[in-house]
Structure formats: structure tokens, C-alpha cells
Structure 1
């Protein structure tokens, strides 16, 4: 697989994250639903290995997985501080957009897609693909990706 070269973004220090707009989270978010991907068996096995290696806490947010429970999905935080990981997603069409920025954090390259509800990060040069959707709190803060570096490097093979 070939992928266009991505422009790196600056990774802001953790202090910037703390200074980001903070909001109250709702307890109704506790049972949030995340669509579970349907990867091939080999990809599902890599995702299961990743699931076991994922951190208990990310950006100060504790892990509490979405419904339905699956080794292909994980979740930390609520509301604007929510972080949802889905492993084994199909290659997103947006990955072909050369204008989407990219960022490298802890040895993992990510495509960055800004959205009104918060950024969407997708791994580059890895199979299976991993999607990380974050809340507005992380709109300008790629440091939220740091805790995923080692688990992704160890569990998800590079393609180039």
C-alpha cells in the first residue's frame, strides 16, 4: 500500500491539554455505543492483542468500554473529553486526500481529520487501521495520542 506523504502537526504539551476548554461530562454518556468493525480473522487477532495492551487511563480519563463490549473497541472519558478507539476499520476513503494533515507521535503516524465534535485520527502505514475519535477538548492537542504509541507499535504491523 502506498500513501501520500503527510505534513506533520505540532504536538502540544500536556499543559495545553489542561488549558483547553473544560466542560462537564454527563453520566448519560456512560453507556455510549461504538460501532464494532468486522475485520478479517488476522486483523481481529491483531486488534485483540492491541486491546490487551491499551492503557487504563488516557489524558487523565479512565477506561470504560462502550456498548457492545468488544476487543475491537475501547473508550476513555465522557462528553467533550471522550476518546473512542475502533480497531479493524476499513481503509477510510478520506485517507486518499493529500490535503489532510498528519502527525507522528511515539513512532505511529496518524492522519488527522478535524470535525465539529472533535478530531478523528486514523493510523497510517499499519494493518489493520485504527480510528481514534476524540471530543472537543482535544481539538488542538495531538498529545492524546502518546499513550497509544507503544501498544500500536507492538500489536499492529507496519505495512511500509
Structure 2
């Protein structure tokens, strides 16, 4: 009987080592991350975005990340809904239509925040990702983000 338990012990010893290989990305929770409307969004997110950025573990509730630390696309559900903006863009895809407020900073990071949905969802694409990937993959998030009903649209 001792022989049968040795492989089980080996598996138990190896599992933590394998789990340590999975990257964990630090993402701060949004102010309303505990909003129950975030749960369906999080459950519907794709495992891969932009063709090759795989989903990673994150450190906070209602957050997601794809890629590797320092070069990861991050998503937070429960951010403060933005007001009307000239930077509002409608993105249509097979997954649905989502209006986003699109902003960039001096470092080349782009921030997409849903407009007309509460809670709002924010997607941040760092310059390191934009160097090698188009930001058009935000359209692939429409099916998940669309789980929060739109009450306003870009005008």
C-alpha cells in the first residue's frame, strides 16, 4: 500500500511548483468591483486576446489580465462610469456593439472605458503591447462587456 501512495505524494509535491509557473499580474480592484453585475462579465471573458495573449491570474476581484507582467493588457470591472466625451467611439463586432471612451497618455498607454454601462469596464493596453498588437481586439471583449446593459450611447 505504501507504493501506491508514493505517486500521490509526488503529484502533491509537483502541483505547487507547476502553479508557481502561472504568472500573476497585479491589478488594483475598481471601486465597485463587488457589484454583482461584474460576475457575468468576468465569466464570459476570453482565454486569449489579440491572437496570442493568454489570460493570466490577477490579484484582485473583478479583474483580468492577458500577457505577462509589465506587458499585460488589464481589465477592471466596476470603474466609475465616465460622462459624455468627444473621445467616445462605437465598436461593432459579431459579439455586439460597445461604446468606449478611448484615452491615451504620453507613454503610449491606451485606456478604453465603456460608456453608458454601469458598472463600467476599463481595459488598459500598455505601449509595450501596442508595439506588436493592434488594439482592435477590444471588439473581442464585446460579448463579455455586453453582459452589462447599455443605458446610453455615443452621440
Residue segments in structure 1 that go unaligned for 5+ positions in a row: 1-29
What is aligned with 1:141? 134
| Residues 1-160 of structure 1: pairs in structure 2 closer than 5 A | 30-39=23-32, 44-59=35-50, 60-68=52-60, 70=61, 72-78=62-68, 81-92=71-82, 95-98=83-86, 100=87, 102-106=89-93, 107-115=97-105, 116-136=107-127, 137-138=129-130, 141-153=134-146, 155-160=147-152
1:3-35 Cα deviation digits (max 9, x unpaired)? xxxxxxxxxxxxxxxxxxxxxxxxxxx433111
Higher relative contact order at CA 8 Å, sep ≥6: structure 1 or structure 2? 1
> Would the aligned equivalents of 1:138 and 1:144 in 2 still touch at CA under 8 Å?
no
Aligned residues: 123
**8 Å contact 1:89–1:130 — kept in the other structure?**
yes
CA distance in 1, matches of 2:140, 2:78: 19
CA distance in 2 between counterparts of 1:138 and 1:40 reads 26
Normalised by the length of structure 1, the TM-score is: 0.67
- Specify the alignment match of 1:17 in structure 2: none
Structure 2: gaps spanning 5 or more residues: 1-22
Pair member with larger Rg: 2
Judged with a 3 Å threshold, the aligned counterparts in structure 2 of structure 1 residues 141 and 96 are, in CA distance, closer, same or farther, namely same
Shift of 1:37: 1.6
Q: Over aligned residue pairs, what C-alpha RMSD do you find?
A: 2.3
TM-score scaled by structure 2?
0.68
Structure 1 residue 90: deviation in Å?
1.4
